[in-house]
Amino acid sequence: MSKENSSPIASFIIRILSYGANSKILTQSEIKDKVLSNKDCFVWDIEVPLPGKFIIDIEFLDLKTICTKGEEACSIWSNGFIQKIQNATALESLGRMIREGIYTDITINVNSEGSIKAHRAILASQSPVFRSMFSHNVKETDLSIINIEDMSIEACQTFINFLYGTVNDDKFLMHRLDLLHAADKYDIHDLREACQKSLQEDIDAKNVLERLQLASFYGLTKLKISCMQYLVKFGKIYDVQGDLTTFLQTADRDLICEVFHQILDARKK
């Protein structure tokens, strides 16, 4: 096999970014199946003016090699690895769109705290409520404005970041009750499930009754089962006696009956 035939074949994105803390992409190109050989030079024609300092960034998408003469080039990365790279690239692109306000076409006004720029297509793809809102002749469609009055600006930003796949874990935990409300209001199944799973993970005597009511109100079956198990199966009902009076006064009657039925059934076994 000749040395030329054994040269790797690469697909990549090459970018030029401005230099500094708030660097932005000045230009980029996607190169497919480029043979990387010591004999050849890579020439990239740039049609934009460049500043004094800039950064060249190369993101490899695939790398192929020819193992045997006559065979087609095959990727040295597994399909799963390539998929992870593609997913990471897509998420980074979405994150950049929302951070830099690239071609935003909708403004979300949050109480009197401020506003967030977003994209109709992203919101509509995640929420059938937003999709219906943008598809019908409603005020928000004409003005390109959405008014959200039941969330803080921080909670709303976390909500939007989730839709773009760029949510911060700490922010998610901080605002997960607001996010659960938003998931229910805008019919976002993935967010609803993420909130349910998160609320299941740190049930304790201080929050179990509150979360049981949340589970009942929002129809979160898995969270409800986890709360019941904590109270009944693990015998923690005696640890919440201080909050039990408030629970009996405020909770749904059917939920209270269900709790007591679970306790009675557990004692019979």
Task: Assign residue 167 the CATH number of its domain.
Answer: 3.30.710.10
Task: Answer yes or no: do 176 and 214 share one domain.
Answer: no
Residue 122: inside a domain: yes
Is the pLDDT at 69 greater than 80, yes or no?
A: no
Task: Please say whether the beta carbons of 65 and 3 come within 8 A.
Answer: no
In a domain, 61, yes or no: yes
Query: Are residues 254 and 186 located together in one domain of the fold?
Result: no
Residues 111 and 184 both lie in one domain? yes
Query: Based on the domain organization, do 40 and 122 belong to the same domain?
Result: no
Residue 147 lies inside a defined structural domain of this protein = yes
* Residue 133 lies inside a defined structural domain of this protein: yes
> What pLDDT does 197 receive?
96
Question: What's the structural domain count of the chain?
Answer: 3
* Residue 216 structural domain: 202-269
Question: What percent of the chain shows pLDDT beyond 90?
Answer: 38
What phi, psi does 261 have (nearest 5°)?
A: -60, -40
Tokens 């000045």: give the residue.
Answer: 26
Do 35 and 111 sit in the same domain of this protein? no
Same-domain check for residues 185 and 212: no
pLDDT(103) > 80: yes
Within a domain: 244: yes
Q: What is the pTM of this model?
A: 0.65
The pLDDT of residue 3: 44
43 and 62 share a domain?
yes
Asked if residue 129 and residue 182 are part of one domain, the reply reads yes
pLDDT band at 149 (very low <50, low <70, confident <90, very high): very high
The last residue of a domain, from among 132, 160, 193 = 193
The mean per-residue pLDDT over the stretch 82-91 comes to 66
| Domain presence at residue 87 | no
**Residue where one domain finishes, among candidates 62, 77, 92:** 77
90 is a domain residue: no
| Structural domain contains residue 4 | no
Domain edge (last residue) among 59, 77, 95:
77
Same domain membership, residue 134 and residue 188: yes
